[in-house]
Chains A and B, each alone.
Chain A
């Protein structure tokens, strides 16, 4: 598939292993800036593993190994001398289960990425917190209780707090690993709505096992099976006119 714009993120021949087990096989994927790319596929096909190679979180697992290249704005994040800590500041992540820090307040949770980066200017922190919370559609609900613990919010609010926390450091790319799978339908709908807004600011790669969700809110969809990338296309195309038989079988619900 040709992208009209230069890709902001580009995975080239990515292989990922857990010990001797190869979870990702030769996956190459280009991601256009300011787009939402959905990764779909049956459980265990390697969506999370692939996502976690994109911000070098994969290597934190004991025994995990990586081969290949991942270019962020043309620069290989796995290049020698690249600091994974710096990489992760540019590629944010939202996880399956909301995971705000219980010891931090709502406000502290939102700006924790900045404080980690050494920002101490109170005014700047407050400004950033407000805009990140607004972008995560949470501001109105929490503006009067910013000092309350992050974990005092509902599950859906906690997940939007985690999105705000990721947005606050203004990374060019945000990875989301099934961010709505632990949430109720209303919270899910709010976050799906949010994706459309978010892509004005960032590029989103989202794992979902919900095909309707992929069809509703992504520009591109990549279908994974047994660690391989089977098909990658514009979402309307992939869902209406899949090129690969395995994709067709999956989206028509014949397996997975």
Chain B
């Protein structure tokens, strides 16, 4: 039997925890409400065309976020285009091929990549990656693939290409970790079924592991996308921060996150601030929805795997 005092203590404890959890949840709501409030003048003035107008002109107080949306979408998808195949390969290597000790070491290092602060990626990008791109990679690409519009124009180093690469490196640990879990959840009996039918190692990986993991890989990619969409510091340092849409990947650009980071301190007119908040609101909603979808997919798979 419990004594009453302890019971009362229990209840107080419970209520405190509940209140604290509630306050964390309400922060989410407060941010959303505040973003709407702050951006309200811009929502009223520019409405939905804000999202496709590319005219962002603080001098004339006219704002459209089209170029940043283009920049965010392009850099994130480009990053995924690189990171997803890379992550799948690394995760397959870790679960299917590597001896246990090597797998543990590589997995640890990949996880450490996720622990590096964004600004450090930015520094590395500016002082190592960008010069490498400017002096070697981009000249090579324009020499051999210059007829493709993506690889035209002067090689600045810094620009969309550099931002996408750094994003790819930054989201790889996330996608790899989830893919690894998804592949590990494939029962050994599936691999043996394939081997027993005379499948080679490679065919076994395709048939037993990859084919049954597509939805998990998709969930992992969306989670990576969520990270890439909102990533600010490293991208701001590397994308070149120019408010225009350019067909070439070598050209500088701007993302939703980077324009806010760049301009909030200097924004003078209230419309400018509202417009930045409007961009922030859009980014908030997109990240929220992306993460929500990804978590739903990944959680469902984890539930399914442990059944």
Chain A contact residues, CB within 8 Å of chain B: 55, 57, 60, 62, 85-89, 92-93, 95, 97, 99-104, 112-113, 116-117, 162, 165-166, 169
User: When chains A and B are docked, how far (Å) is the Cα of A92 from the Cα of B193?
Assistant: 10
- CB-contact partner of B193 in A55, A85, A89, A99, under 8 A: A99
Chain B residues near A95: list those with CB within 8 A.
189, 192-193, 196
**How big is chain B's contact interface, by range?**
20 to 34
Q: Which residues of the other chain, B, contact A112 by a CB distance below 8 angstroms?
A: 197, 207
- In the assembled complex, B199 has its CB within 8 A of some CB on chain A: yes
Are the CB atoms of A85 and B189 closer together than 8 Å?
no
Cα of A101 to Cα of B193 in the assembled complex, Å: 8
User: Given that A89-B198, A92-B197, A116-B199 are contacting pairs, would A102 and B212 also be in contact in the complex, using a CB cutoff of 8 Å?
Assistant: yes
Residues of B that sit less than 8 Å from A by CB:
99-100, 187, 189-190, 192-200, 203, 207-208, 211-212, 214
Closest residue on chain B to residue A102 by CB atoms: B212
Within the complex, the shortest CB–CB distance from B14 to chain A, in Å, comes to 43
- In whole angstroms, what is the CA distance A62 to B196 when docked? 17
List residues of chain B with CB within 8 A of the CB of A162: 193
Q: Identify A92's interface contact among B194, B196, B203, B208, CB under 8 A.
A: B196
How distant is the Cα of A92 from the Cα of B192 in the complex, in angstroms?
Answer: 11
Cβ contact of B200, chosen from A55, A85, A166, A169, cutoff 8 A: A85
Q: With a CB–CB cut-off of 8 A, which chain B residues contact A62?
A: 99-100
The answer to whether A85 and B212 touch (CB under 8 A), given A99-B193, A101-B190, A116-B203, is: no
| Cα distance A62–B36 in the bound complex, in angstroms | 58
Closest to B190 in A: A99
Complex formed: what's the CA distance from A62 to B187 in Å? 16
From A57, A86, A103, A117, give the contact of B196 (CB < 8 A).
A57
A55 to B199, CA, bound (A): 13
In angstroms, Cα B52 to Cα A4, docked, is: 85
Which residues of chain B have C-beta atoms less than 8 A from A165's C-beta? 197
B244 to A: closest C-beta gap in Å = 44
Most B CB within 10 A of own CB, among A55, A93, A101? A101
User: Which residues on the B side are within 8 Å of A97 (C-beta)?
Assistant: 189
A117 CA to B194 CA, complexed, in Å: 12
Q: Would you mind naming 18 contact pairs between A and B with Cβ atoms under 8 Å apart?
A: A55-B196, A85-B200, A86-B198, A87-B198, A88-B197, A89-B198, A92-B197, A95-B189, A95-B192, A95-B196, A99-B190, A101-B211, A102-B212, A103-B211, A103-B212, A112-B207, A116-B198, A169-B197
